[in-house]
């Protein structure tokens, strides 16, 4: 059922059309004058407007023009005589949904109204989807206010302003796809689509079809013509994830698109063009891949116009409290609960871990901890079993720097004992078999190093950490 406004200066048409539409369960409000209708349409919500073109005081074209100028998006159907069809076309150019010639059958009007209502529903759903997508990307922002992430954001803003290809490198789980999304949504192409394609997930033949499309009958199973990602992303951005896994013959075809903007669908000789910005990601060293003849050098140079390196978590530990708070808030929002907090001891443990799985591993751990935590705070006892034995390096001692391995091992052991004894220096020194003064001097030295180099982790007992909020 819809709320419909009928604007016509002929009473017999208003009455007959109103009665017929009422039988279809629509609510009809008749207007004999376009001026009166305009005032009501600006202040009341209608689902569809049916209007004549030729009326005294204000004609239908003026009514449409005034409604659209006021921001009214209600579908408008024009009722016109045969002699004014050209005027009806002008009305559609002004924003009318469609027109119908007089005399007409009520059934034809009813079908047109249903089409208008469906169009309105689709427009509203599209707008809601757009807002949802914008909110999604707003929530998926780059978290971290440390020096590394601040520098990365500034670099991405410069990269986004360009139309050149981008190569995003970094370890698995660092958020390369998120970086690519940030570039697209900060670029002049933000109002155009961004499509993604994982080059490692498909065979060479399927990947070619996904990229360039195919004609019906091009291969077994191709029962219809299909557009590829380059056509669908025209004017926007195409993210090619794990580009290093693309087969060499297909790399040559990709290179042509990047250089010439031209391609052919699989099974077609028709050359097509597309204006697409390509962002590629990889967790491999493509220089080495090129030297091993596994990746084309010319394609590498064409992709590497604007290189972006995403730092691993172990190189931006200053962001860990912020990242943990962000993921715990996300988990709470998803579960409809209050966000958990992390005890200082647990935060120190998280910051002493090397995070081989990077942000992805941290996000999974936070989600698991938020689900399994029985209280308001996440403590060491809950998360330590998930970290033990999985630290970076075979020793499980985190990062051991060449030339300073003994020092790093000693520091790791002291940090572990401090965590076990909740920062109590006397108990820690006794467990380690060293004097309390010796322990204090080491903690002081590390605290001074941390003040000079903020990225260095301060052990428990040297500088207390606050629980994230």
pLDDT at 133: 61
More confident residue, 242 or 82: 242
In words, the CATH class of domain 317-452 is mainly alpha
pLDDT at 461: 47
Q: Which of 138-147, 236-245, 322-331, 375-384 has the weakest average pLDDT?
A: 138-147
pLDDT at 452: 55
Residue-wise pLDDT tens digits, 157-205: 999 999 999 999 999 999 999 999 999 999 999 988 889 999 999 999 8
Asked if the domains 3-124 and 145-311 are classified in one and the same CATH topology, the answer is: yes
Q: Which of 20-29, 121-130, 322-331, 377-386 has the weakest average pLDDT?
A: 121-130
Per-residue b/e over 189-211, b at no fewer than 16 CB within 10 Å? beebebbbbbbeebeeeebbbbb
> Which CATH number is 145-311's, of 3.30.420.40, 1.25.60.10, 3.40.50.300, 2.40.30.10?
3.40.50.300
More confident residue, 469 or 277: 277
pLDDT at 157: 93
pLDDT at 465: 38
pLDDT at 264: 93
Residue 207 has pLDDT above 90, yes or no: yes
- Sequence spans of domains, the chain: 3-124, 145-311, 317-452
pLDDT at 105: 85
Average pLDDT over residues 76-97: 82
Contact status, residue 63 vs residue 75, Cβ threshold 8 Å: no
Average pLDDT over residues 264-277: 91
Average pLDDT over residues 453-460: 45
Residue-wise pLDDT tens digits, 64-79: 999 888 878 899 999 9
Going by pLDDT thresholds of 50, 70 and 90, the confidence category of residue 124 is confident
pLDDT at 137: 55
pLDDT at 92: 85
Q: What is the model's pTM?
A: 0.60
Average pLDDT over residues 293-319: 95
Report helix, strand or coil for 436: helix
Residue 134 has pLDDT above 60, yes or no: no
pLDDT at 8: 92
pLDDT at 86: 77
Going by pLDDT thresholds of 50, 70 and 90, the confidence category of residue 316 is very high
Query: What does 363-429 look like in DSSP terms, one character per residue?
Result: HHHHHHHHHH--SSEE-HHHHHHHHTT-SSSTTSSS---TT-HHHHHHHHHHHHHHHHTTT-HHHHH
Could you tell me which residues come within 8 angstroms of residue 105 by beta carbon, excluding any fewer than 6 positions away?
Answer: none
Greatest mean pLDDT among 21-30, 240-249, 393-402, 441-450 lies in: 240-249
pLDDT at 401: 53
Cα(396)–Cα(247) distance, integer angstroms: 36
Average pLDDT over residues 121-126: 78
Contact status, residue 397 vs residue 434, Cβ threshold 8 Å: no
- Average pLDDT score over the chain: 85
pLDDT at 286: 94
Residue-wise pLDDT tens digits, 367-394: 999 999 988 999 998 998 888 554 433 3
CATH of domain 3-124: 3.40.50.2300
Going by pLDDT thresholds of 50, 70 and 90, the confidence category of residue 466 is very low
Beta bridge partners of 271: 264
């Amino acid at each position: 059922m819809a709320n419909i406004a009928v604007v016509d200066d002929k009473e017999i048409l208003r009455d007959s059309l109103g009665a017929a539409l009422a039988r279809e369960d629509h609510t009809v409000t008749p207007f004999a004058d376009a001026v009166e209708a305009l005032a009501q349409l600006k202040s009341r919500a209608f689902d569809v407007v049916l209007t004549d073109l030729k009326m005294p005081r204000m004609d239908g074209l003026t009514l449409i023009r005034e409604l659209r100028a006021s921001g009214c998006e209600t579908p408008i159907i024009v009722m016109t005589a045969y002699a004014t069809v050209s005027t009806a076309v002008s009305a559609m150019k002004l924003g009318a949904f469609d027109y119908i010639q007089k005399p007409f059958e009520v059934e034809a009007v009813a079908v047109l109204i249903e089409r208008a209502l469906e169009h309105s529903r689709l427009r509203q759903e599209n707008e809601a989807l757009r807002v949802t997508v914008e909110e999604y990307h707003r929530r998926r922002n780059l978290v971290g206010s440390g020096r590394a992430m601040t520098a990365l954001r500034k670099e991405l803003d410069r990269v986004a302003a360009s139309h050149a290809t981008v190569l995003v490198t970094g370890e698995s789980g660092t958020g390369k796809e998120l970086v690519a999304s940030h570039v697209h949504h900060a670029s002049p192409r933000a109002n155009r689509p961004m499509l993604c394609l994982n080059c490692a997930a498909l065979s060479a033949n399927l990947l070619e079809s996904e990229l360039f499309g195919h004609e019906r009958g091009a291969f077994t199973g191709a029962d219809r013509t299909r557009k590829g990602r380059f056509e669908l992303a025209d004017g926007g951005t195409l993210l090619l994830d794990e580009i290093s896994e693309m087969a060499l013959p297909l790399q040559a075809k990709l290179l042509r698109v990047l250089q010439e903007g031209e391609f052919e669908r699989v099974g077609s000789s028709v050359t097509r063009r597309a204006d697409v910005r390509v962002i590629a990601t990889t967790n491999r060293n493509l220089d080495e891949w090129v030297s091993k003849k596994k990746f084309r050098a010319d394609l590498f140079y064409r992709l590497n116009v604007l290189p972006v390196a995403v730092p691993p978590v172990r190189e931006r530990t200053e962001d860990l409290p912020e990242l943990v708070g962000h993921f715990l808030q996300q988990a709470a929002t998803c579960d409809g609960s209050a966000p958990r907090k992390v005890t200082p001891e647990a935060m120190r443990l998280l910051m002493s871990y090397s995070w081989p799985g990077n942000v992805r591993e941290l996000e999974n751990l936070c989600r698991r901890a938020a689900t399994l935590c029985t209280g308001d705070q996440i403590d060491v006892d809950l998360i330590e079993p998930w970290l033990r034995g999985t630290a970076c390096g075979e020793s499980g001692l985190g990062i051991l720097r060449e030339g300073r391995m003994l020092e790093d091992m000693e520091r790791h052991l002291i940090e572990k004992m401090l965590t076990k004894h909740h920062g109590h220096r006397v108990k820690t020194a006794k467990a380690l078999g060293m004097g309390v003064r010796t322990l204090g001097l080491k903690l002081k030295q590390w605290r001074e190093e941390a003040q000079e180099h903020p990225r260095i982790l301060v052990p428990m007992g040297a500088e207390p950490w606050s629980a994230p909020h």
